[in-house]
C-alpha cells in the first residue's frame, strides 16, 4: 500500500498516523497528490512544512518523518493542481542510530544576522572597525537551520 499526501492550504504540521488530521488544516478545493510513495520500507508518520523564499519564488519544503526514524526533505515543483507536478526528494536523513518512529518535529529558523558592513566589504572578514559602523543585515537562509526531532516514547 502506498502513502498519499495531498496539499492543503497553510499546512504547518501534523501527525499522519491519526487519519491525516493536520493542525491548521483548512478546507480547499480537491487537488492532485503531491507525494505518492509505493513500496517504501517505511510508513509516513509526521509532516512539518516550512515555506521559504528563493530567487524564483516561494517553495514549501516538507519534512516528513517515518516509522523507522528517517526524515525526508521534499519539495514539489508545480502548483498542486496538475499531473505535471514534480516531487524532488532533497535529502533522506537517518536521525537516530536505533530506528525510532518520528512522531513530532518542530522547525527553528534563525534569519537575522548582525554583521559589520566594513567586514563584509573587506571580503575576508579581517578588517576591524568600531561597533558604531555595524548594522543589521537580513540573511535569508533558503532552508531551516535547525529541525528539532522528538523520538517516540513507549
- What tens digit of pLDDT does each residue of 77-100 get? 876 555 567 788 899 988 878 888
Q: What backbone phi and psi angles, to 5 degrees, belong to 132?
A: -70, -10
Rounded to 5 degrees, what angle do the CA atoms 100, 105, 108 make? 135
- Tens-digit pLDDT profile for residues 9-52: 333 344 555 444 444 444 445 566 667 777 888 888 888 888 88
Instruction: Give CA–CA dist 99/90, Å, rounded.
Output: 21
Of the chain, the end-to-end C-alpha distance in Å amounts to 26
Question: How far is it, in rounded angstroms, from Cα 95 to Cα 72?
Answer: 10
Q: What is the pLDDT of residues 53-82, one digit of tens each?
A: 888 888 888 888 888 988 899 888 876 555
Residue that is written with C-alpha cell 492543503 in the block: 8
b (16+ CB within 10 A) / e for 78-94 = eebeeeebebeeeeeee
- Kindly state the average pLDDT of the residues 117-128: 46
63 contacts: CB under 8 Å, gap ≥ 6: 47, 48, 49, 50, 71, 72, 73, 105, 107, 147
- Asked whether the whole model's pTM tops 0.75, one would answer no
Cell numbers given for 36: 505518492
Cα distances from 29 to residues 6, 8, 95, in angstroms, run 11, 9, 35
Amino acid at each position: 500500500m502506498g502513502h498519499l499526501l495531498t496539499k492543503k492550504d497553510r499546512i504547518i504540521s501534523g501527525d499522519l498516523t491519526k487519519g491525516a488530521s493536520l493542525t491548521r488544516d483548512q478546507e480547499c478545493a480537491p487537488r492532485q497528490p503531491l507525494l505518492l510513495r509505493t513500496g517504501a520500507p517505511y510508513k509516513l508518520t509526521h509532516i512539518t512544512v516550512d515555506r521559504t523564499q528563493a530567487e524564483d519564488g516561494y517553495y514549501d519544503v516538507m519534512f516528513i518523518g517515518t516509522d523507522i526514524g528517517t526524515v525526508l526533505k521534499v519539495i514539489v515543483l508545480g502548483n498542486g493542481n496538475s499531473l505535471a507536478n514534480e516531487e524532488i526528494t532533497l535529502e533522506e536523513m537517518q536521525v537516530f542510530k536505533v530506528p525510532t518512529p518520528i512522531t513530532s518535529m518542530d522547525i527553528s529558523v534563525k534569519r537575522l544576522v548582525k554583521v559589520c558592513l566594513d567586514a563584509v566589504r573587506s571580503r575576508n572578514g579581517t578588517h576591524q572597525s568600531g561597533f558604531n559602523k555595524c548594522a543589521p543585515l537580513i540573511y535569508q537562509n533558503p532552508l531551516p537551520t535547525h529541525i528539532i526531532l522528538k523520538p517516540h516514547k513507549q
